[in-house]
Amino acid sequence: MRKNDRMASTPFSARGAVDLGALATSRQNQQKAAAALANAPAGVVIDVTTESFQADVIDRSMTVPVVLDLWATWCGPCKQLSPTLEKLAAEYGGRWVLAKVDVDAEQQIAAAFQVQSIPSVFAVIKGQPIPLFQGAYPEAQIRQVLDELLKVAAEQGVSGTLGADGPSEAPAEPEEAPADPRFEAAYAAIEAGDWPAARSAYQSVLSAEPSDPDAAAGLAMVGLYERTDGVTPPAGDEPPLVAADFAVLQGDFARAFDLGIAVVRSSAGDEREAARQRVLEYFQLAGDDPAVPKARTALASALF
């Protein structure tokens, strides 16, 4: 097996493809990423355009691995993943560079990498692209991917460090907003895999603030994690809502909506109501995904 093939085929569990903590506290995660970057070598996170791609990605990949984060402003899972990648880029201290690509603004780059869904993450080593993963993976699994990436890079003689010629002056660390203990309790429960406790923590927020979007999305995601915990990924003969859950985990909201709405159309009574509620949860998780408007119209049609 070629080294690049080994990276592309690294196995990962489908469950947990979305970082729930990042979903529920995107603002806090962005602050944490900013704080980490304040003490990191300059240039560990860069925005890349078609014009700068040669210098920022291809040329740089000759001495240090470059990780490409292909994202868009409307993509909900991208908002979960990007702060985690930025935080990790800072923590690894220049052993790899995070290059962010807005696929809407840089469609030529997206086409070159044949991007089918976002977020999509690639690496480039010595000018050669390596697919890493799609979807918003949790931090622990991303670390596994990055550690494997660094091993592959070292085997190919790419083991430099950004900023090795000397430290750069870091900007002042931004003041971090105090964490909400109710959300902290939810995150601790999630880390422990204690879904009832996590659900209770998010529900306590909603009891006090029924319109809190982060708590609502967190509660929906806990339900998704609980339903898919220990479940074998779809093989083609599973119930539609099981397949829909896994589609959400992979960021494929269009497929999830299609599967869920089909159950609404074909069922009645409690089964129909359960499917409707499931689709509504997917709307909470999808955020501004472009599949949402069409799916809302389709759900309304299926109901009335």
Active site amino acids: 75, 78
Return d(Cα 191, Cα 237) in angstroms, integer: 31
Two tokens, residue 14: 């489908």
Question: Amino acid letter at 172?
Answer: A
Tokens 């759900």 sit at which residue? 299
